[in-house]
Amino acid sequence: MPYAVVTVPVAPMRMDSAHRSEMISQLLWGECVEILQSAPGGWVKVKNQYDDYIGWATENHLQLVDEAFYQQPATAYLPEWVNTVTLNGAPMQVPFGCLVKGNKSSDQWGAFSVAIPGNFREITVPAANMASLILEAGMKFLNTAYLWGGRSVFGVDCSGLTQNVYKLVGIPLWRDAYQQATQGETVDFLQEAQLGDLAFFDNDEGRITHVGILLNDHEILHASGKVRIDPIDNQGIINSDTGLRTHKLRIIKRLI
């Protein structure tokens, strides 16, 4: 199968090969995909290299690359809320956390000559610093608008927030909340929670539909309307603005 890299700041992944189709996720600048299928109108079915998520994207958001480029590890990320890169000499603003392959300040992506700011940050961090770096990364998203399928500081959903914060300390999470709930070790009680633990919440049918990052045993950072900090107790989340209970706690997981 051919490989490609994302050459726009944020590219939608859709359920079907149509602009009116639901956006189920996003691809971020610099992420690589495997092209699985083509469809009329410039649509391609792709699998995201980072999380194996599959959806439809448009060819004009991608640039074909060889397998050697595809297989390069992403070892750094862009640390500013907005970062200026250039493609063929033209500037582009890309969001916080976009991955950099090979720690290169310049590269060739197929037909594109790419220049990347030299202040990218290494992904690999000492385990002792992971919790504080998770907090630092999470706060970059504070007040970002909720966007179904979103994965960036320009708009994010609950599992997009947790996935992108955790990737910056080298811990890969699956894309959706119910998938992420299968990862890590269970924390039995909220009172035992630590900074960086993930809390998951279910609906009336028992399906996990929401996730957030615990800041301690009584506060959570999560995307609900916007990325916000709310109180949490053994029953779940209470909206700090309205005083209403919004999410029912199901399970807590530890990955660091």
Q: Residues 10-35: pLDDT tens digits?
A: 999 999 999 999 999 999 999 999 99
Are the beta carbons of 115 and 100 closer than 8 angstroms?
A: no
Global pTM? 0.95
- 179 has a pLDDT exceeding 70: yes
- 230 has a pLDDT exceeding 70: yes
Closest C-alpha to 46, from 31, 74, 191: 31
Q: What is the pLDDT of residue 128?
A: 79
Residue 185 is encoded by which pair of tokens? 């070790």
- 182 has a pLDDT exceeding 90: yes
Encode pLDDT of 27-69 as tens digits.
Answer: 999 999 999 999 999 999 999 999 999 999 999 999 999 999 9
Phi (first) and psi of residue 138, to 5 degrees:
-60, -40
- With a pLDDT cut of 90, the percent of the chain lying above it is 89
Q: What is the pLDDT of residue 154?
A: 98
∠ Cα 79 83 88 (to 5°): 130
- 129 has a pLDDT exceeding 90: no
Q: How confident is the model at residue 173 (pLDDT cuts 50, 70, 90)?
A: very high
Q: How far apart are CA 22 and CA 45, in angstroms?
A: 14
Buried/exposed code over 211-248 (b: 16+ C-beta within 10 A; e: otherwise) = bbbbbebebbbbbbeebbbbebeeebbbeeeeeeeebe
Encode pLDDT of 136-172 as tens digits.
Answer: 999 999 999 999 999 999 999 999 999 999 999 999 9
Q: How far apart are CA 187 and CA 22, in angstroms?
A: 35
Q: How confident is the model at residue 118 (pLDDT cuts 50, 70, 90)?
A: confident
Are the beta carbons of 114 and 107 closer than 8 angstroms?
A: yes
The mean per-residue pLDDT over the stretch 78-100 comes to: 95
Closest C-alpha to 98, from 158, 153, 54: 153
Cα 226 to Cα 12, 87, 156, 219, 255: the distances in Å are 19, 31, 8, 16, 24
Which top CATH class is 3-121?
Answer: mainly beta
Q: How confident is the model at residue 103 (pLDDT cuts 50, 70, 90)?
A: low
Q: What is the pLDDT of residue 214?
A: 98
Fold (CATH) for 127-254: endopeptidase fold (from Nostoc punctiforme) (3.90.1720)
The mean per-residue pLDDT over the stretch 227-253 comes to: 97
Domain coordinates of the chain in residue numbers?
3-121, 127-254
CA 244 from centre of chain: 28
Are the beta carbons of 125 and 133 closer than 8 angstroms?
A: yes
Q: How confident is the model at residue 247 (pLDDT cuts 50, 70, 90)?
A: very high
- With a pLDDT cut of 70, the percent of the chain lying above it is 99
- 253 has a pLDDT exceeding 80: yes
Closest C-alpha to 221, from 133, 139, 154: 139
Pairing of strands 245-254, 236-238: antiparallel
Q: How far apart are CA 163 and CA 97, in angstroms?
A: 11
